[in-house]
Amino acid sequence: MGDKIKVRKSKEKVIEVATGLFHRKGYQPTSVDEILERSGVKKSTFYYHFKSKEELALKILDMRIEEFESDVISKTLCETSISPKNRLHKFYERVKAFHQSLKCYEGCPFGNLAIEMSDINEKFRTRLSAFFKRWEEAIESCIREGIENGDFRSDINPTLAAGLILSQLEGAIMMAKTYKTLDPLANGAQTVLKLLQLA
Amino acid sequence: MGDKIKVRKSKEKVIEVATGLFHRKGYQPTSVDEILERSGVKKSTFYYHFKSKEELALKILDMRIEEFESDVISKTLCETSISPKNRLHKFYERVKAFHQSLKCYEGCPFGNLAIEMSDINEKFRTRLSAFFKRWEEAIESCIREGIENGDFRSDINPTLAAGLILSQLEGAIMMAKTYKTLDPLANGAQTVLKLLQLA
DNA sequence: CAATTAGTACTGACTAGTTAGTCCTAATTT
DNA sequence: AAATTAGGACTAACTAGTCAGTACTAATTG
C-alpha cells in the first residue's frame, strides 16, 4: 500500500517535469514520451489533461511569463519604493543569480523559445513578442524616471536605451551559455549601468 | 536525357541544402531524410561522403565561420584602409542587409546553434565559443584603434565594449526574429555608435 | 433511500509515421 | 583501377497521438 497516492497529481507533475525539459532541451527535442517517463504519468492520462504537446508548452510558457513578470519585473524594475538606478541594479543581480544557479546552462527560457519557435509557430511568437514588448516598457519607464530624478544622463532616449538593454541582456545570456562563464552577463550589466550615468 | 547531370555534385548539393535547413530549422529538427529528399541524393551516397549527420553539421559550421570571418569581419571590422568608426558602421550595415534579405526570418546561424547545442554537444560549443571570442577581439581592436585616432571616447574599456557590442548584436537579431522587424537591429546599431562617441 | 447519471482521473494496447544509420549489389564516371 | 552514384531493403528505436474501457466520487432522480 501507499503507492497509489498519485491521485489528482498527474497534471501538476507533468507541468513541473515538462517545464524543466523544455528549458533544458527546447520544445521540439523534448518528446512526450520522455516527459511521461520522468513524471511517471501514462500517455492516456497526459492526453486526458492536454490536447497536445503544443497546448502543454503554450500553457507552460504563459505560466513562466506570468511568474517572471510578477516575481522579477514587478519586484525590481517596477519597484517604485527604491531608486531607478537601484531598481536596474537589483534586476541585473536577480538575472545573474538565476544563471549562476544554473551554472550557465539552459539559458533564458524565453530567448531560447523565441529562437526555436518564432519562425515556425505564430502562437509562440505572438506571446513572446508581446512579453518582450512589456519587458522593454518596464525598462523604459525605469530609465525615464531615472532621468527625471537625476540617476541617469538626460541625453539618452529611454525607448532606444530600453531596447538596447533587453537585447544586450538576451545576447549576454546566450554568450554565457556558450562560453560557460557568467562574465558576459556581469560585464554587460556593469557597462550598461556605467553608460547610463554621467561621466 | 539531361536529368543525370548530377555527377560528382552530390556532396556539394547536400552541403548547400543542409546549410539552408540547419539555418532555418536548427540542427536537431532537420532530418537526414529531408536533406536527402531536397537534394535528390540517395542515403547510401550521403553516408559515403559523411560518416554522420553530426559530421556534416560540424563541417558546415566550420565553413560558415570561415566564410563569415573572411567575407564580413575581414572586410568591415578589420578593413584598416577605412576609419574605425566607418568600419563599425559598415559592419552593422552588412549585418542589417543580411537580415533584411531574410525578412527577419532564420536569425543568426551562429547564435541559433549556440543556444541549441552549447549544453548538449561540446564539439559545437568549443567551435562557437572560439569563434565568438575572435569576433569580440576584432571588435575590440577596432574600438581600440578608434580611441587612439579620436573616433571614440577615451573613457571606454575596449574589451568590455566589444563584449557588449557582440551581445547586443546577437540579442537584437533574436528580437528582430521575434518581432519580425529590423528595428531592434537598426536602433541598436544607432545607439551603440552614438554611445561610443563624444557627446 | 436506492438507483441512476455525470464528471473526473486514469490505464493499457494500439496506430501510423519518422528517426539515424547499415548493408549490399550494380552501374557509372574520371 | 579508383572514386562516385543509384537503388533498395532493412533495423531498432522513437514520434505524437488515439481509443475503448475502468475506477471512483458526487449530484440527481424515482
**Complete DSSP assignment for A100-156:** HHTTT-S--HHHHHHHHHTTT-HHHHHHHHHHHHHHHHHHHHHHHHHHHTTSS-TTS
- Same-domain status, B175 and B80: yes
Q: Which residues touch strand D (CB under 7 A)?
A: A 30-34, 43-44, 47, 51-54; B 6-11, 40-45, 48-49
Q: Give the mean pLDDT of A111-125.
A: 98
In a domain, A92, yes or no: yes
Alpha carbon separation from B114 to A72, A78, B18 (Å, rounded): 26, 32, 17
Are the C-beta atoms of B177 and A118 separated by less than 8 Å?
Answer: yes
In chain A, which ranges are E strands? Answer: none
- Same-domain status, A168 and A108: yes
- Same-domain status, B26 and B91: no
pLDDT band at B51; cut points 50, 70, 90 = very high
Residue A15: domain span: 1-50
pLDDT of residue A9: 85
- Same-domain status, B9 and B75: no
Q: Give the mean pLDDT of A117-133.
A: 98
pLDDT of residue B8: 62
pLDDT of residue A133: 98
Instruction: Identify the CATH number of the domain in which residue A112 sits.
Output: 1.10.357.10
Are the C-beta atoms of A56 and A15 separated by less than 8 Å?
Answer: yes
Q: Give the mean pLDDT of A123-141.
A: 98
In terms of CA atoms, which chain A residue is nearest residue B183?
A163
- A3 versus A85: the higher-pLDDT residue is A85
Instruction: Identify the CATH number of the domain in which residue A21 sits.
Output: 1.10.10.60
pLDDT band at A81; cut points 50, 70, 90 = very high
Q: Percentage of chain B surpassing pLDDT 70?
A: 95
- Same-domain status, A173 and A128: yes
pLDDT of residue B7: 54
Q: Does residue B5 carry a pLDDT above 80? A: no
Distance CA B119, CA A174 (A): 11
Residue A128: name the closest of B72, B10, B177 by CA.
B177
In a domain, A166, yes or no: yes
Q: Does residue B17 carry a pLDDT above 50? A: yes
Please state which of the ranges A13-17, A143-147, A181-185, B6-10 shows the lowest mean pLDDT.
Answer: B6-10
How high does pLDDT run on average in chain B?
95
pLDDT of residue A119: 98
pLDDT band at A8; cut points 50, 70, 90 = low
B182 contacts chain A (CB < 8 A)? no
pLDDT of residue A86: 97
Half-sphere exposure of A25 (CA within 13 A, CB side): 16
pLDDT band at A34; cut points 50, 70, 90 = very high
Q: Does residue B25 carry a pLDDT above 70? A: yes
- A9 versus A67: the higher-pLDDT residue is A67
Residue B167: name the closest of A108, A175, A64 by CA.
A175
B64 CA vs C24 C1’ separation (Å)? 36
Q: Does residue B117 carry a pLDDT above 80? A: yes
Q: Which residues touch strand C (CB under 7 A)?
A: A 6-11, 41-45, 48-49; B 4, 7-8, 30-34, 43-44, 47, 51-54
- Same-domain status, B15 and B66: no
- Of the three residues B34, B50, B66, the one that is the final residue of a domain is B50
- Same-domain status, B80 and B159: yes
Q: Does residue B3 carry a pLDDT above 60? A: no
- Same-domain status, B78 and B128: yes
- Same-domain status, B4 and B72: no
Distance CA A37, CA A50 (A): 16
pLDDT of residue A5: 30
- Sign of the CA dihedral with B127 first, then A181, B191, and B175 last: positive
- Same-domain status, B24 and B117: no
Query: Which of B 136-155 lie inside 8 A of A, CB atoms?
Result: 155
Q: Domain total for chain B? A: 2
pLDDT band at A4; cut points 50, 70, 90 = very low
- Same-domain status, A75 and A30: no
pLDDT band at A3; cut points 50, 70, 90 = very low
For residue B90, give the C-alpha cell: 559598415
- Same-domain status, A153 and A129: yes
Q: Which helix (H) or strand (E) holds B72?
A: none
pLDDT band at A1; cut points 50, 70, 90 = very low
